[in-house]
Amino acid sequence: MSNLILLFLCLFLGYFLKKTKFFPENGHVALNAFVVNISLSALSLYYIPKIILSYEVIFPVAVPWLNIFLAVVFFSFLGKKMKWPKVVTGAVIMCAGFGNTSFVGIPLIQSIFGESGLKTVMLADQPGSFVALSTVGITVANFYSGGKSSISEILNKIIRFPPFIAFSLAVFLNIFSIEVPRDLDDVFIKLGATTVPLALVSVGSQLKWQKLDGDTQPLFWGLLFKLILFPALIFVLYFVILKQRGETAEISFLESAMAPMITASIIAVSHKLEPKLCNLMIGVGIPLSLFTLAFWYLVLRLCF
């Protein structure tokens, strides 16, 4: 219960501080930088060395990759059929193709599954969402904006990104069974504990509601895909076809139903892919996802 209170309180505080001007105009940028570079890196170094590697780790890692590849296929076809401008199609792919596995995913999963669920979240977030965004996401954004990035430029961004460095080190520690000193481990978990409140305050401060105008159709299809169609596909694939059960599969499924990713939206906006539509996908998608996630969680509990 305390985690749910923290979730809504921090979202409200972020929104309230921004509205009352107590929060700097771009204050969320500093919070995002700390969460992404410090907090998430610390969580990787704390949880990933403790993960028991098995075939089950494939399921959370696969979700973000399936998300973006299916979004590319679905919206490339739909965009042509609906005669959307290229920048609109690119914006919808970027926002509907990546889930908010960290800023929204971590506090929600923690509130449902407790600390143990964070190991699975880190798998979905680091080798899943982050690497997919840094490779496929950048490629999609460049293609639909008419820009170009070389393979060497993309690889350079990945290997210099602090969470990737931390993730790589954590995997190395896991593979070679190197135990992290207790005092250092305590530092990692304390730094990682800042993820939830700071991420939620940041999300709350970025929530925007704007007039829909001509964005209604792509907004509807983007959120329908991200919050309903893609989770439904993962449900059928994981639980019906592959017959998976247990916490790892359930968390992987819920991660598939997360709201659009803020970072993907920022990248889309930086490439001039319909900024207003991207803001709407985040502003409408995050609060709406709280209801759709409750629905999917209820489906889980009723079915298993």
Please spell the DSSP secondary structure of 143-204, one letter per residue: HHHT----HHHHHHHHHT-HHHHHHHHHHHHHHTTPPPPHHHHHHHHHHHTTHHHHHHHHHH
Mapped to the 3 state alphabet, what secondary structure does 3-50 carry?
HHHHHHHHHHHHHHHHHCCCCCCCHHHHHHHHHHHHHHHHHHHHHHHH
pLDDT at 58: 92
Contact 108, 296 (CB under 8 A): no
pLDDT at 74: 97
- Ramachandran area for residue 21 (φ above 0: left; ψ -120 to 50: alpha; else beta): left
Report d(CA 281, CA 210) in Å as an integer. 11
Domains in the chain: ranges and CATH: 2-204+215-303 (1.20.1530)
131: Cα separation from own chain's centroid: 12
pLDDT at 156: 78
Buried b (16+ CB within 10 A) or exposed e, 79-101: beeeebeebbbbbbbbbbbbbbb
pLDDT at 266: 78
59 to 56, 127, 148, 250, 251: CA distances (angstroms): 6, 12, 32, 10, 9
21 to 7, 27, 275, 285: CA distances (angstroms): 21, 11, 23, 24
Mapped to the 3 state alphabet, what secondary structure does 212-274 carry?
CHHHHHHHHHHHHHHHHHHHHHHHHHHHHHCCCCCHHHHHHHHHHCCCECHHHHHHHHHCCCC
219 to 93, 213, 214, 269: CA distances (angstroms): 11, 11, 9, 15
Q: Tell me the one-letter amino acid at 257.
A: A
Q: Which segments of the chain have a pLDDT < 50?
A: none
- Measured on CA atoms in the order 156, 161, 163, 167, is the torsion positive or negative? positive
Indicate the Cα dihedral angle 79, 82, 87, 88, nearest 10°: -100
Report d(CA 257, CA 234) in Å as an integer. 9
